[in-house]
Amino acid sequence: MPTTEEEAAAGADRLIADRYRLEQRIGGGAMGIVWAGTDELLRRPVAVKEVLLPRGMPEGEAAELRERALREARAIALVTHPNVVTLYDVARHEGEPFVVMELVPSQSLAAVLAEHGALGDPQLALVADGVAAALDAAHRAGIVHRDVKPGNVLIGDDGRIKLSDFGISRNVSEHTITSTGIMLGTPAFIAPEIASGEAVTDAADLWGLGATLFAASEGTAPYGANDDPLATITSVVRGPVPAPHRPGPIGEIIAGLMVKDPAQRMTAQEVRRHVQDLLPPSGTRPFEMLLDPEAPTVRVRKVPSTSPNTAPGTATDEEPAPLAADPGPLPFMLSEPPPAPRRRFRWGAVVLGLAAVVLFAASTAGGFAATRALAGHDVLPEITTPAPSQPATPRLARYVDEAKRSQQGGGGFEVVAPEGWDVFRGSRNQPTESMVVYLISPDGRAEVAVERFEGYYGDRSTAQDYVDVLQERSAGEHGTFRLEEDRPTGATDEVSGETDRFLRYTASQGGVIGPAVADSERSTTSQLMPRGSDLWVLRVTTPLDQPGAHQRLFDEALGGFQITS
């Protein structure tokens, strides 16, 4: 493993763990290098973080840096969310860990601010909403980031917001790294309780979000006008909190987050609620003119063709590339139907953002093993839903998926679920790559999901392959899983030669942290539907204590489900 930055920079074109080809350095610092590369098995772009060991570093400190890389991987593995960079793998190469993640063509918020200065309200609203949603997910999983700052907020080339660098995060179930060799945050954005050595809670990240929004709103960090970190930390702990100059909801959010008493800070849910009316319309790209298209983190190589005439690892012409094939995308950007008064559909409503993560955590464990399966290509379209009203007894509504983004032109569907549920998009890699639309109940305890595996039977996969990975998908390595019913239903599909298949199972996620523990065991009913070369899966998941409601929800969803294109 390289011991200096110069040696590491000369290490491009290395093949890590016989799978990941390092191609271009796109970032790094004193403790690591981030490479753009290719997963030669799945033929998709990846980002690979390599630990950089300074020459002559004592072995104890080197081990600590390796542990930091593994801590980051463990943290991201627990947080499956559209606004968090997706973890694919931790590869061992020559005894050293390499963290393999989603490659997001993006620039950091810090880079954008350095080049263009303060942002406008719609841009600030996107940043606030995306980071707050990511923190909500992390905190539900028991993870405190501890270093929320503009440099760790990524702005995708299509406007997506991702929170990155969980390298000094803390899992509440683990002991904290205590050596002075590991920095506990960036002085200008560090929470007062961290700077003064007090207990670190979720609220520390909320201060970091407030300080990040301050910098993005004012064009300068709230603290640290000079290069003296001690003076900066002293100001954070003992000095007054700087007041934002921006009026309106953004200023209110900053003031509500940058409160020295952690118990008095605005919550992530409140942040998201405050910015809903400021979010830009669906389909717009408010950062398009601010990102440098030639930046190495934006202009990444397009993944090579899978044509038989293209050898593995062969580069194609460079051009700005789309997000990684498994991008962990944002919640749908939804358009409203026309009734007055017009209300903006909320992007994954406040409480529902965190609720979705609890369900995601229960259904997406075993992510490392998932990367071992060959992936196809799939894109599900945007969804138009009814206005998110919440009557005491929710009425049924038809959720219509009309867009046609699939490479083969299909993918639309309709499904019936209670009115006002929020819509999220996700992706999976078991047994092959799929895209999922999640409808989440307001209390976060129930889910209707539609999953499509495009070209599934063209890859010679079978419904049994899906059943074989159910335990890993639903319970992970340490959870519990019981398959209670598995039977064929309906007629045989002419293309795949398979029939619809009814499944019922219960599962709990092993190692779930925090509030999700008491509600971790859930019942799921699924209908597997071979349709041509695709496999569609409709599933309903609820807590075990709601058998009657569970069955009604499934019957309603299945009765109203149809593929529209």
Calculate the alpha carbon distances from 481 to 361, 472, 508 in Å.
15, 9, 7
The residue-averaged pLDDT of 120-139 equals 93
Contact (Cβ atoms closer than 8 angstroms) between residue 541 and residue 401: no
Min mean pLDDT across 130-134, 153-157, 173-177 is at: 173-177
Q: What's the pLDDT at 94?
A: 83
Q: What's the pLDDT at 350?
A: 36
* Helices H / strands E in the chain, number of each: 14, 21
Give 169's pLDDT tier (boundaries 50, 70, 90): low
Residue the block writes with tokens 């900066």: 232
Percent of the chain past pLDDT 70, that is, above it, reads 67
Q: What's the pLDDT at 526?
A: 96
Calculate the alpha carbon distances from 162 to 103, 131, 135 in Å.
11, 7, 11
Q: How many CB atoms lie within 10 A of CB 530?
A: 24
Contact (Cβ atoms closer than 8 angstroms) between residue 556 and residue 396: yes
Structure tokens, 159: 């406007």
DSSP assignment of 459-475 equals GT--HHHHHHTHHHHHH
Q: What's the pLDDT at 227?
A: 52
Which of these, 484, 555, 487, 558, lies nearest to 522 by C-alpha position? 484
Q: What's the pLDDT at 252?
A: 96
Top-ranked range on mean pLDDT: pick from 104-118, 157-171, 231-245, 432-446: 104-118
The residue-averaged pLDDT of 503-518 equals 57
The pLDDT tens digits of the residues spanning 318-376 come to 443 343 333 333 333 333 333 333 333 343 443 344 344 333 443 433 443 333 333 34
The pLDDT tens digits of the residues spanning 281-331 come to 877 788 888 887 777 677 665 444 443 344 444 434 444 334 333 333 333
Q: What's the pLDDT at 50?
A: 86
The pLDDT tens digits of the residues spanning 239-262 come to 899 999 999 999 999 999 999 999
Q: What's the pLDDT at 442?
A: 64
Per-residue pLDDT at 271 exceeds 90? yes
Contact (Cβ atoms closer than 8 angstroms) between residue 187 and residue 232: yes
The residue-averaged pLDDT of 39-53 equals 88
Q: What's the pLDDT at 443?
A: 62
Claim: this prediction has a pTM higher than 0.75: no
Instruction: Work out the mean pLDDT of the chain and round it to a whole number.
Output: 74
Min mean pLDDT across 14-18, 401-405, 441-445 is at: 401-405
Is 162 annotated to bind a ligand? Reply is: no
Contact (Cβ atoms closer than 8 angstroms) between residue 222 and residue 258: yes
Contact (Cβ atoms closer than 8 angstroms) between residue 252 and residue 119: no
Catalytic member of 121, 129, 136, 147: 147
Domains defined along the chain, listed by start: 5-102 (3.30.200.20), 106-278 (1.10.510.10), 350-563 (3.40.1000.10)
Give 515's pLDDT tier (boundaries 50, 70, 90): very low
Between 519 and 126, where is the model more confident? 126
The residue-averaged pLDDT of 218-237 equals 74
Contact (Cβ atoms closer than 8 angstroms) between residue 364 and residue 473: yes
Contact (Cβ atoms closer than 8 angstroms) between residue 366 and residue 477: yes
Residue the block writes with tokens 């045989």: 492
Q: What's the pLDDT at 341?
A: 36
252 vs 246: CA distance, rounded Å: 9
Q: Could you confirm whether 136 is annotated as catalytic?
A: no
Give 20's pLDDT tier (boundaries 50, 70, 90): very high
Per-residue pLDDT at 494 exceeds 80? yes
Residue the block writes with tokens 């201060």: 207
